[in-house]
Structure 1
Amino acid sequence: MPIPLQVVKCYKYIDSQQKQFIEELRELVKIPNVSSSSEARKYVDSAIKWLQARLVRTGFSVELKNTDNKVLPELLSISQTNIPPVILATLGNDRRKKTLLYYCHLDVFKVQSDKWGADPFVLREEKNGKLYGRGTAKMKGPLLCFLHAVDTYQALEINLPINIKIICGQVSLLKSMNECKSLGLADMLQSLRTGFLTNIDCMLMTDGQWTGITYPCILYACRGVCYFNLSIEGLTEDLNSGEYGGVVQEPLQDLIYIVNHLVDKSGTLVIPGLDKDMVQVTPDEEKIYSQLKLNIQEYKKDSGIRKLSHDTSLSQSLMHAWRYPSFNLHYVNTLPPCDCPVNLKIPKTAQARFSIRYEVENLCDIPNKIWVLVYTSLDFYTIILMQLYAYLKRIVPDQTPKKVCRLICDHLNKVLKLRNSPNRARLRMEDSLRPWIADHRHWSYEAAKNASKQVYKDPANLVREGNAYPALLEFQQIMPKTNILLLPLVSGDANINKDEECITLRCYMEGTKLIANYFYNLSIC
């Protein structure tokens, strides 16, 4: 399919604006709007004002929507009790055109300046073709790609082929890193359901990154995840191992025993029933994996992995990373924490955090928070569900959150029974995110595939991810019939939310062309 003349004109204009595009990214990066920091709150407000003015200059009608402060828990300091407003912007209201909703966030993740080669809030260009600075890859760079694509049509006086709505919120007011929930977003979206969010034909997010550094990707599915804290208690105080070693059942030994019985020697989960409702691999999905333009050696090199757990083929390795249930152990500690070079005491309490990533069929939602206590003694085992916060409909047919937790608790009880320990185990589900999958045959995805092939000269890799995107799940809950496209614009070496975050100049400029082309393809799909 030949590239339309008006899109070719867009490409040429974008190339001519490279210097100006870089300078605007420099201007935006220098705003240190780390919204998880109360000291940086004024910069969060500055960034919002910057984007508001920028959208108005582009022709958008803009509204600042305040969120409900009731959703703020004890996560924020007293000096940061107000959640920044969300930006709502609209460009075009032609009923003959499709309307695209674009969601992004403007704030950035915290930095450790001493681990950067230079000031993280001063954009620096390196000879390796990369632009370094906090927010270059997530999300200031991709956001500017989107805005520059709109600018291009306007500068060339080409009629924008679609209507656009934008929601720009703050994501870093959160409890953990990239897998956590946007405060107040669910309530705000509910309030917009019958107003701003009406007449939306499709939705776009430019989050995520490519798998690898060479070929572009289109993301269509993510696994769900549950986070658990496990603690073993039994002693009233720490004991001297020289006096009591060998005569007490140690909590730390119990913890290690339990963790070792959650997975087999290859790291595969061994919790009975957990994979019962897992979606089976279809011929369509197998075809997608077979068409991936990735090299397993390059994949390991880019990831810094010596040997993959399932080092049989790239497809099998990626299935274990993207779709099969998996277990991750994040830390093991004692209470009080061991903070001296040599500690020979027997700790009274041992703790571990682990997560289970999964994909199940027809999943709508899972509990925000579940507490599960497993009390153990020589002859007594009970499970008490103490609290259940849920805003869900169901997990899968005939499966409740209680059943999901019971699978894990039943398994732990069996393990503890074999252990025959007098210690008490407590398992707490801290948080959870449900899986997500989109119809990659939808016309919005087809538009992205066509645009990507025309820009990069190769078909994009259609990929899944092991991570989840909380904001995406909130939109899916509010707009279940609306297709959501996740279109990463940065390569796999972007160091998102890490030290030395960057976007390649190629991704920055070609990403702008991709969005401009996507606008056109949306209009003809």
Structure 2
Amino acid sequence: MLKGVTCRQSYSYSSTASRHLQRAFPTSSTYSLRPTSRPLLHATHKHYSTTAEWPYIYRREPSPTMAPQLDSYFKTVDDLSDHFIGRLRDAVAIPSISAETERRGDVVKMGMFLKSQLEALGAYMEARPLGRQPGKDIDLPPAIIGRYPAKKDDTKRTVLVYGHYDVQPADVTDGWNTEPFKLTIDKNDRMWGRGSTDDKGPVLGWVNVIEAHKKAGVPFPVNLLMCFEGMEESGSEGLDDFITAECKPGKFFADTEAVCISDNYWLGTKQPCLTYGLRGVSAFGIEISGPKSDLHSGVYGGTVQEPMTDLIRVMATLVDGDGKILIPGINELVAPMTEDEKSLYKDIAFSVDEYQEGIGAKTTIFPDKENTLQHRWRYPSLSLHGIEGAFSGEGVKTVIPRKVVGKFSIRTVPDMDLQKVTDLTVAHCNSVFKKLGSKNTAKTECLHDGRWWLASPRHWNFTAAAKATEKVYGVKPDMTREGGSIPVTLTFEEGTKKNVLLLPMGTGTDGAHSANEKLDKRNYIEGVKLLGAYLHYVSEEPMN
């Protein structure tokens, strides 16, 4: 899951977060987000009739046709589990690393593998070219788009799903305990391999859903549109314009009524969730230069003003040790938290101790769950990432760099206008540098940005997914936001003008992007059941 996008003109979101939140959480509402205290159930898939507790608007009894269709579908998924794992093994074996141009053939191979798997099941598929990669003499991987059934059924709703078939770089020397491109299953049914959870497992989940319906003899409940890309881990280059064009009247995605993305994760390991908000990101670089070339510190140290010293002094004014952003005006851009929103955090299944265990240290800023989640999801943060041009190898290199570039980013939230974020940040860095009285030169710029996203979890797309989650796992999902960014979410929302749902398959311990990425077998197989159940519920959910 990519955490940034290519540079674009910043502008404010079309409606403010406060209006989003008023619609999603009206103050007069008596709804709550309290999760059930029932333990997780995996085998029986019992239907729980539920009152209209937010965000659920269930029938008192299940649909007369829903239960038997899902029972047959669930059994077929279990029967095909080894086959589905074999499909994932074949996909993981393709090193579809989009960041490495020498692997571009493998990325395309993975796209064609996906296309052929779906065509074999009767889907209509296309591999759409996206042009040349900017700045490189190579074609972008194609967008793999498709429709199932191949011919649209006008009596059924149309759902668009998205995923990506490229992966992050991986090598056994990076600290992997297994070969990264060989799916390895341990005694605890954890499936280790690059792309297993991000995002080949979830993408293949949709393939498996189609196959399980066919073999179970269960009618497919919706018209399924698919969009799978091969550059998500490298900025989704070429995709935004493609999606926008294909959402226009008469184009491939024009009939979309709801969008589902499975490219994120549960908050922990036990409680499934639905995600309705993402932070944005604005990445910056502070470039400070002086001498025409690097200098020997033994010859020039103490006689010149050094760019590195200036850079450290400027970067030290951006954020304090407790995460508070020190740039004047930034925090004032944030939408205030309402009491209704604040109440959502009380019953979310989250443990600070487990969070610290995942970090590997007790260095968290806040001791309680609520503050930790709020500062992870709905408040901005500023992180310092590195210094380009500085020596970082082993040993000591006594050099004075002629030019250094400090890299940092701000995670943005409602109602932050990205252009204002850029203007305030650049003005602050310029002001601080000027006060240094340095003879070096400085330049601060936004390297790329992506906007925040907030949806209404009371939309029928979310209530359908909530019902499907309770059907499969026996518990109501937590309603969560995430601190990272999935920029394509906004692209689909703006292109289709429809609700976008994030429906995760994997858990918070899967290690996407890091060494030893994994997907639990349970989450893969139950996730296939969840995706299929979601399509059934979304096919009949009242649109009100």
Q: Structure 2 CA distance, aligned partners of 1:41 and 1:411?
A: 41
1:502 to 518, 521, 527: 518
Q: Which amino acid in the other structure matches residue 485 of structure 2?
A: A
1:296 matches 2:357: no
Cα drift, residue 222 of structure 1? 0.9
| Corresponding residue of 2:316 | 260
Say which SS state the counterpart of residue 5 (structure 1) adopts: helix
Q: Structure 2 CA distance, aligned partners of 1:486 and 1:156?
A: 27
Cα drift, residue 163 of structure 1? 1.2
| Corresponding residue of 1:139 | 199
Structure 1 stretch displaced more, 214-223 or 42-51? 42-51
Q: 1:413 to 1:62 in 2, by over 3 A?
A: closer
The 8 Å contact of residues 252 and 334 in structure 1, kept in 2 or not, is answered as no
Cα drift, residue 352 of structure 1? 1.2
1:107 to 153, 163, 166: 166
1:83 matches 2:145: no
| Corresponding residue of 1:22 | 85
Q: Which amino acid in the other structure matches residue 202 of structure 1?
A: A
1:37 to 88, 96, 100: 100
Q: 1:344 to 1:132 in 2, by over 3 A?
A: closer
Q: Structure 1 CA distance, aligned partners of 2:113 and 2:388?
A: 44
2:267 to 211, 221, 235: 211
Structure 1 stretch displaced more, 32-41 or 120-129? 32-41
Q: Which amino acid in the other structure matches residue 99 of structure 2?
A: S
Q: Structure 2 CA distance, aligned partners of 1:412 and 1:38?
A: 35
Q: List per-residue Cα deviations over 1:107-142 (Å, max 9, x = no partner).
A: 222211333333322221110210112221112111
Cα drift, residue 484 of structure 1? 0.6
1:230 matches 2:230: no
Q: Structure 1 CA distance, aligned partners of 2:183 and 2:397?
A: 45
| Corresponding residue of 2:35 | none
Q: Structure 1 CA distance, aligned partners of 2:380 and 2:86?
A: 44
Using structure 2 for the length normalisation, give the TM-score: 0.82
Matches within 5 A, 1:53-202: 53-69=116-132, 72-74=133-135, 76=136, 78=137, 81-92=138-149, 93-114=152-173, 115-172=175-232, 174=234, 181-192=235-246, 193-194=248-249, 195-202=251-258
- Aligned pairs, number: 473
Q: Which amino acid in the other structure matches residue 450 of structure 1?
A: K
The 8 Å contact of residues 36 and 172 in structure 1, kept in 2 or not, is answered as no
Matches within 5 A, 1:267-346: 267-309=323-365, 311-334=366-389, 337=391, 339=393, 341-346=395-400
Q: Structure 1 CA distance, aligned partners of 2:263 and 2:140?
A: 22
Q: 1:240 to 1:124 in 2, by over 3 A?
A: closer
Q: 1:420 to 1:134 in 2, by over 3 A?
A: same
Using structure 1 for the length normalisation, give the TM-score: 0.85
Q: 1:326 to 1:95 in 2, by over 3 A?
A: same
1:416 matches 2:459: no
The 8 Å contact of residues 430 and 444 in structure 2, kept in 1 or not, is answered as no
Q: Structure 2 CA distance, aligned partners of 1:218 and 1:257?
A: 42
Q: Which amino acid in the other structure matches residue 155 of structure 2?
A: R
Q: 1:42 to 1:252 in 2, by over 3 A?
A: closer
Say which SS state the counterpart of residue 119 (structure 1) adopts: coil
Q: Structure 2 CA distance, aligned partners of 1:290 and 1:134?
A: 35
| Corresponding residue of 1:390 | none
Q: Structure 1 CA distance, aligned partners of 2:93 and 2:392?
A: 40
Q: Which amino acid in the other structure matches residue 116 of structure 1?
A: W
Q: Which amino acid in the other structure matches residue 520 of structure 1?
A: H
Say which SS state the counterpart of residue 325 (structure 2) adopts: coil
Q: List per-residue Cα deviations over 1:165-207 (Å, max 9, x = no partner).
A: 1111212572xxxxxx211112212331221111211001110
| Corresponding residue of 2:404 | 350
Cα drift, residue 409 of structure 1? 2.5
| Corresponding residue of 2:22 | none
| Corresponding residue of 2:23 | none
Say which SS state the counterpart of residue 481 (structure 2) adopts: strand
Structure 1 unaligned runs (5+)? 175-180, 367-400
Q: Structure 2 CA distance, aligned partners of 1:165 and 1:340?
A: 51
**Identity across the alignment (%):** 32
Q: List per-residue Cα deviations over 1:383-416 (Å, max 9, x = no partner).
A: xxxxxxxxxxxxxxxxxx2x44331222223323
Q: Structure 2 CA distance, aligned partners of 1:156 and 1:340?
A: 59
Q: Structure 1 CA distance, aligned partners of 2:468 and 2:187?
A: 29
Q: Structure 1 CA distance, aligned partners of 2:300 and 2:288?
A: 18
Say which SS state the counterpart of residue 161 (structure 1) adopts: coil
Structure 1 stretch displaced more, 102-111 or 341-350? 341-350
Q: 1:49 to 1:239 in 2, by over 3 A?
A: closer
Q: Structure 2 CA distance, aligned partners of 1:54 and 1:347?
A: 52
Cα drift, residue 5 of structure 1? 2.4
Matches within 5 A, 1:389-404: 401=419, 403-404=420-421
Q: Structure 2 CA distance, aligned partners of 1:216 and 1:201?
A: 24
Cα drift, residue 293 of structure 1? 0.8
Q: List per-residue Cα deviations over 1:369-391 (Å, max 9, x = no partner).
A: xxxxxxxxxxxxxxxxxxxxxxx
| Corresponding residue of 2:475 | 458
Q: 1:284 to 1:8 in 2, by over 3 A?
A: farther
Structure 1 stretch displaced more, 187-196 or 486-495? 187-196
Q: Which amino acid in the other structure matches residue 158 of structure 2?
A: T
Q: Structure 1 CA distance, aligned partners of 2:143 and 2:457?
A: 29
Q: List per-residue Cα deviations over 1:314-361 (Å, max 9, x = no partner).
A: 1111111112111100013545x3657234444333331111111132
1:483 matches 2:499: yes
The 8 Å contact of residues 117 and 207 in structure 2, kept in 1 or not, is answered as no
1:360 matches 2:414: yes
Choose between structure 1 and 2 for higher RCO, CA contacts under 8 A separated by at least 6 residues.
2
Cα drift, residue 242 of structure 1? 4.9
The 8 Å contact of residues 388 and 407 in structure 2, kept in 1 or not, is answered as no
The 8 Å contact of residues 259 and 492 in structure 2, kept in 1 or not, is answered as no
Say which SS state the counterpart of residue 342 (structure 1) adopts: coil
Q: Which amino acid in the other structure matches residue 59 of structure 1?
A: G
Cα drift, residue 84 of structure 1? 2.5
Q: Structure 2 CA distance, aligned partners of 1:256 and 1:319?
A: 29
Between structures 1 and 2, the one with greater strand share: 1
Q: CA RMSD in A?
A: 2.1
Q: Structure 2 CA distance, aligned partners of 1:237 and 1:52?
A: 52
Q: 1:41 to 1:294 in 2, by over 3 A?
A: same
Q: List per-residue Cα deviations over 1:446-486 (Å, max 9, x = no partner).
A: 1111111221122212111111112223223322x211111
Q: Which amino acid in the other structure matches residue 152 of structure 1?
A: A
Q: Structure 1 CA distance, aligned partners of 2:373 and 2:302?
A: 44
Q: Structure 2 CA distance, aligned partners of 1:488 and 1:113?
A: 27
The 8 Å contact of residues 111 and 230 in structure 2, kept in 1 or not, is answered as no
2:110 to 47, 58, 63: 47
